[in-house]
Chain A
Amino acid sequence: MSVSVKNLTHVYAQGSVFEYTAVKDVSLEVGAHEFIGIIGHTGSGKSTFIQHLNRLLVPTSGTVVINGIDINQKGVLMKDIVKRVGIVFQYPEYQLFEETVYKDVAFGPKNIGFDDEKIDFYVRESIELVGLDFDKVKEVSPFDLSGGQKRRVAIAGVLAMKPQILILDEPTSGLDPMGRYEILECIKNMNKQKGICIFLVSHSMDDVAQYADRIMVFNEGKLVMFDEPSKVFADSGKIKEMGLDVPQGKQVLEALKSRGVNVDTSAYTTEDTIKELLKFFKKNGGNNV
């Protein structure tokens, strides 16, 4: 499974006074099991972009090819697209509607025509994959769950369709730090253990830096960078220009460097920053340690 986007442009309300180009000439290739982070400030075009990956939006020009199939071609069924590409929108708990958690998670698989046996298996598997106890929650109304649990059920609802590509738009917003960590770890597992290709849209540079293999940076509708985290964050001036932050650890290292402390500024996760600082302070001036 691979994603290949060529010269994708999307114009809203073409020909009217509200005409607005949200995505401009985006081309990219993503491999089957990658973990992609997507960053860009609000209105940079990243939300518009991801909606093209399962044909919720049709490009004004350009093509989206998933696993060799141009999804905007005539005769390609929506059912067959969503089977492969799942999207979890921001605050997905607002899409829950069934009487029980089981039924809600089974909604997607049923729509795309899985048989009952398969549905049963996948529903159980996905509920467990998002870290909930299947036997405890299956008969519970989703509306009786806590906020964090609702969100997991909603993610399970998309997972149960067995997508090979999973797009998550800000899946951690509004959760407490531990809730955030748990969801992110769970997404990492989907990628590492099940080999699902992940697109994670996030406002948190630290999260993206820590989890993604490669990062897409959107600015004013254009894909301005698409590279490994170390390279994306290498030029922090450029990132800041686009109204984005650089991971805090990296900022510390750069500030030190600019004040004449000779540290290596290549680290971009908190963990590596701490390691680098320790290495530096243990090597130089043992009296301070």
Chain B
Amino acid sequence: MFKDITIGQYYPTDSIIHKLDPRTKINSTLLYIIFLFVVNNLWGYMAAFVFLAFVVTLSKVPVKYILKGLKPLVIIITLTVLLNMLWTPGNVIFQVWIIKITDMGINNAVNMGLRLILLISGTSIMTLTTSTLDLTDGLEADIKKVPLVKRIAHELSMMMSIALRFIPTLTEETERIMKAQKSRGADFESGNVIARAKSLIPILVPLFVSAFQRANELAMAMESRCYHGGENRTRLKQLKYKKRDAWAYILVFAVMAALTATRFLPAVNLV
């Protein structure tokens, strides 16, 4: 049942956020990330949090899915918080042995922790509401606007979509080869690291052989369907901004302005 794995973490439902153009979502997320670093006090984080909560409510994605996105990053977040807390100079609040906790340290730690959590939840909401397919299309459209890389925009997106297309095929294949080698007495579970790495050879060699063969056949199939690069190519599905995207952009710009404005509010010091 490996077949049902989906890459990314798309949560299919029908909401206004799902319906937004992928470019709107990608660009807004980028803006949001940039402005998270502009924010420098608690007011700002609170504003960002309110905005995020608003988007989450609109998206109809259960909060537990967003928390799930945070889970694998708990270690990184904790590490960042600890490092900031311990290595920032300032007025020492208390000290155990050589560990000094300063007021600035606590402030920095809270700032960085909040920033990371908001950043990750923000990106999750984008990947949760945009299918991988739309994401590639959106990225392609965006990359086309970037001066240096726009020449390879088509190639990049073609590569991405072919990779997506072959992930289920190759996971299935891996599963099949593993079963075949297991039936020949191969053991992938016991032994030390070197033995285990070695035991992967009977899976990796056939997998690579078949992947190359697939690539070769796919190239031939594409060629015989008149593929000749991105030149003069049209698309069945074209991204088209709708009215709601305009509203979304206006809202996002307004929120970003508000986030910038919070810099001028008096700082709230925790300690």
Residue from A18, A95, A108, A158 in contact with B4 in the complex, judged by beta carbons closer than 8 Å: A18
Q: Which residues of chain A from 93 to 117 have a CB within 8 Å of any chain B CB?
A: 94-97, 107-108, 110-112
Interface residues of B in 176-213 (CB under 8 A from A): 176-177, 179-187, 201-202, 205-206, 209-210
Q: Which residue of B183, B201, B206 is within 8 Å of A86 (Cβ)?
A: B183
Choose among B173, B183, B206, B209 the residue that contacts A56 (Cβ–Cβ < 8 A): B183
Please indicate the chain B residues that have their CB under 8 angstroms from the CB of A86 in the complex.
183
B202→A107 contact, CB < 8 A:
yes
Given contacts A13-B1, A18-B1, contact A97 B206 (CB under 8 A): yes
Contacts of B185 in A (CB 8 A): 78-79, 82-83, 107-108, 110-112, 161
Interface of B is mostly: helix
Name the contact of A94 in the complex, choosing from B183, B186, B187, B206 (C-beta under 8 A).
B206
- Asked if B179 and A108 sit within 8 Å, CB to CB, the answer is no
Shortest CB distance A49–B (Å): 14
CB distance B1 to A161 under 8 Å? no
Which residues of A have CB within 8 Å of B202? 95, 97, 107
Q: List 14 A-B contacts (CB under 8 A).
A: A56-B183, A82-B185, A83-B185, A87-B180, A89-B176, A94-B173, A94-B206, A95-B181, A97-B201, A97-B205, A97-B209, A107-B186, A111-B186, A161-B184
Contact with B along A16-35 (1 / 0, CB 8 A): 00100000000000000000
Query: Which residues of chain B from 1 to 60 have a CB within 8 Å of any chain A CB?
Result: 1, 4
Q: Tell whether A158 pairs with B183 under 8 Å between CB atoms, given A95-B177, A96-B206, A97-B205.
A: yes
In the assembled complex, which residues on chain B have CB atoms less than 8 Å from the CB atom of A95? 177, 180-181, 184, 202, 206
For the complex, what is the distance from the CA of A180 to the CA of B235, rounded to whole Å? 45
Residue of B nearest to A96 (CB): B206
Q: Which residues of chain A (38-56) have a CB below 8 Å from chain B?
A: 51, 54, 56
Are B210 and A56 neighbours in the complex by a CB distance under 8 Å?
A: no
The contact of A89 among B4, B180, B210, by CB within 8 Å, is B180
Using Cβ atoms and an 8 Å threshold, which residues of chain A touch B180? Answer: 87, 89, 92, 94-95
Bound-state CA distance A51–B182 (Å) is 11
Instruction: Please classify how large the interface on chain A is, using the bins under 10, 10 to 19, 20 to 34, 35 or more.
Output: 20 to 34
Chain B interface residues toward A at CB < 8 A = 1, 4, 173, 176-177, 179-187, 201-202, 205-206, 209-210
Which residues of chain A are within 8 angstroms of B186 by Cβ–Cβ distance?
107, 111
Contacts of B176 in A (CB 8 A): 89, 94
In whole Å, how far is A275's beta carbon from the nearest beta carbon of chain B?
40
Q: Which residues of B contact A12 (CB under 8 A)?
A: 1
Q: Which residue of chain A lies nearest to B185 when distances are taken between CB atoms in the complex?
A: A111
The distance from the CB of B185 to the nearest CB of chain A, in whole angstroms, is: 3
Kindly provide the distance from the CB of A112 to the nearest chain B CB, expressed in whole angstroms: 4
Contact B179 A51 (CB under 8 A): yes
Known pairs A78-B185, A82-B184, A143-B209; list 20 more (Cβ under 8 Å): A12-B1, A18-B4, A51-B179, A56-B179, A56-B182, A56-B183, A78-B182, A79-B187, A82-B182, A86-B183, A89-B180, A89-B183, A94-B173, A94-B177, A94-B210, A96-B206, A107-B184, A108-B185, A111-B185, A111-B186
Complex interface: chain A residues within 8 A of B177 (CB): 94-95
Question: What is the bound-complex CA distance between A276 and B256, given in angstroms?
Answer: 88
> A157 at interface (Cβ–Cβ under 8 A)?
yes
Q: Is the CB of A82 within 8 A of B183?
A: yes
B179 and A89 within 8 A (CB): yes
Q: How far is the CB of B2 from chain A (nearest CB, A)?
A: 11
Kindly provide the distance from the CB of B191 to the nearest chain A CB, expressed in whole angstroms: 12
Residues on A with C-beta less than 8 A from B187 are 78-79, 111
Shortest Cβ gap from B172 to chain A (Å): 12
Most B C-beta atoms less than 10 A away, residue of A13, A51, A96: A96
Instruction: Pick the 8 closest A-B CB pairs, nearest first.
Output: A111-B185, A97-B205, A108-B184, A95-B180, A87-B183, A112-B185, A82-B185, A89-B180
Mark each residue of chain A from 244 to 274: 1 if its CB lies under 8 Å from any CB of chain B, else 0.
0000000000000000000000000000000
State in angstroms the CA–CA spacing of A80 and B114 once bound together: 55
CA of A97 to CA of B208, assembled, Å: 10
Q: Shortest CB–CB separation between residue B187 and chain A, in angstroms?
A: 7
Assembled-state Cα–Cα distance A87/B180 (Å): 7
Chain A residues with CB below 8 A from B201, complex form: 97
Q: How far is the CA of A157 from the CA of B185 in the complex (A)?
A: 11
Q: Report the Cα distance A86→B186, complex, angstroms.
A: 13
Which residues of the partner chain A approach B173 to less than 8 Å between Cβ atoms?
94
Point out which of B1, B183, B210 has the most chain A C-beta atoms below 10 A from its C-beta.
Answer: B183
